[in-house]
A and B are shown apart, each in its own frame.
Chain A
């Protein structure tokens, strides 16, 4: 019997279906009807920012792949079975081991230096456990917008005179310290009173001094990806920050515990190193992201985290 629109003979179709054999793995209890009208509404409006998803081409990081052998092929890597407890030492420290925890293609580790396959298997097991437990995506409290805050991407020049003075004070403080000793010192960060934008402007100014103004770029964003400071940053940096942090969450069990999340280092295609410093503030998790020729040291990251927490709280 030919169908009205599709012109398909149902009997012929039955015979063909029998020939291609049903799937064995799929549940037979599929619903008999599907409501096509339950599909989502199209989104209105577009985000003007465009991001490249595939990385700009860089020489691929070659993983330690054994030579294929016609005689004996090694079994594919399988995740390890669930263990009652994960030894702390199996979790790589991002600060010490580069981006191994969050990224499986480290650009600066030799195969001989680290048992990458072992680490990868362990991370996969952790990730799968976190996924299975429903904790893959970290819960987040939205960072509350202060009523006086206009746009997070506001330029410093748009602040009132009080704000500019506060930022200038930070710069002057650093300049003074430099001149006294002749050697750049890391100044204390004094949070200026005022709205969040002002405090973050002061933080960003201070952070640039911590980085010795080496060309790094500072970005502050909420856990939802909202840019709180540094809107002039490239959109790709925002995306890289989100992806690096998301990968770190997936690749470790840090989302399942209450400890302060670790710092994430991510080599960028541009040659810079992205350092993402998560900070637990009163309003939820906020990330400071710094793209610089070199990753931040532990001390620098600690200082920036402390200052950002002060600015946000």
Chain B
């Protein structure tokens, strides 16, 4: 099992959209995926179902631990399950010890692993608050969505500095890649920002695929589904997340692991 977090200094860069659609694509590719919403805003739950608003979830787990199974929300895709954010304000009133968070997260990961999960995907709040920091440190990889606009891109050095600090403090988390989001193809400034970042950073630090800014993503949020399910036949933009999922498999070693375990499959035997 591997755990992947998303992180960005700036809000509104599309972390939640990425997490929902990436989790769906990974699940469609055969991985058992657990999507955990660690953002107090509860964007994952708000994007997918009304019923998750009243559910216990990640923050209750931080406060008192408990049975992971009781917090899981099934989806129509058997390989994909979700732990919603839970009732953040209620939990914040009860309070939780910052020092206990790493241990709770370790329990969470252990529970997921015992459940047979292949990939834990953790959506985080903007910025690197203490909880988000603990979440990122608890993961094996971090994906860095970066909005293709000047202000967002200027936060990249700060983010990398923070991640370098994590490494210096002994965290094993590795950067799976920086992913350009909300790229506006019609906007020269947006394209320029994207090109500058690609020119400046090594290719292996940047996802080849970027995520354009499309109305269909709004539509998917309105409908409460991943983009692939906005139409009965998945729209072309759904393939963007399949491509990202495939890249992520390569970057995290999932693909190599599968190849090593199973090798070439024959059609007929």
Contacts and interface: CB of A to CB of B under 8 A. Distances in A.
Contacts of A34: 198, 206, 208, 210
B64 interface: no
Given A5-B192, A25-B251, A40-B237, A19 B167 contact: yes
Given A84-B269, A129-B265, A247-B78, A51 B223 contact: yes
25 contacts: A5-B150, A6-B200, A19-B168, A20-B175, A22-B204, A22-B205, A23-B176, A30-B208, A37-B185, A42-B237, A46-B219, A51-B225, A53-B49, A53-B75, A54-B224, A55-B73, A63-B116, A79-B262, A103-B78, A133-B265, A133-B267, A224-B233, A247-B77, A250-B30, A251-B78
Contacts of B41: none
Interface stretch (A9-17, A208-216, A279-287): A9-17
B263 A82 contact: yes
Interface in B29-83: 29-30, 32, 45, 48-52, 55, 69-70, 72-79, 82
| Residue in A37, A41, A54 with the greatest tally of chain B CB atoms within 10 Å | A54
Contacts of B154: 6-8
Given A53-B76, A55-B76, A39 B212 contact: yes
B91 interface: no
Contacts of A40: 212, 214, 235-237, 239-240
Given A3-B196, A20-B174, 14 more contacts: A8-B156, A17-B160, A36-B191, A56-B49, A57-B73, A61-B74, A68-B110, A68-B114, A73-B110, A82-B263, A117-B116, A128-B262, A129-B262, A136-B30
A239 B76 contact: yes
A263 B230 CA distance: 26
B236 A239 contact: no
Interface residues of A, number: 90
| Residue in A21, A132, A243, A256 with the greatest tally of chain B CB atoms within 10 Å | A132
B154 to A, nearest CB: 5
A76 to B, nearest CB: 5
Nearest to B212: A39
Contacts of B76: 53-55, 239-240, 243
B92 interface: no
Interface residues of B, number: 98
A91 to B, nearest CB: 15
B98 interface: no
A65 B191 contact: no
Interface string B189-222: 1011110111011111110101010111001001
A120 B117 CA distance: 12
Nearest to B74: A55
Contacts of A46: 219, 230
B141 to A, nearest CB: 9
A20 B50 CA distance: 39
B176 A50 contact: no
B256 interface: yes
Interface of B: 1, 29-30, 32, 45, 48-52, 55, 69-70, 72-79, 82, 107, 110-111, 113-116, 150, 153-154, 156-157, 160-161, 163-164, 167-168, 174-177, 183, 185, 189, 191-194, 196-198, 200-206, 208, 210, 212, 214-216, 219, 222-226, 229-233, 235-237, 239-240, 250-253, 256, 258, 261-269
Interface of A: 3-10, 12-13, 16-17, 19-23, 25-28, 30-34, 36-37, 39-43, 46-47, 50-58, 60-63, 65-66, 68, 73-74, 76-79, 81-82, 84-85, 102-105, 117, 120, 124-125, 127-133, 135-136, 224-226, 238-240, 242-243, 247, 250-251, 256
A7 B157 CA distance: 10
Given A4-B196, A102-B78, A133-B265, A60 B236 contact: no
| Residue in B185, B201, B262 with the greatest tally of chain A CB atoms within 10 Å | B262
A127 B263 CA distance: 14
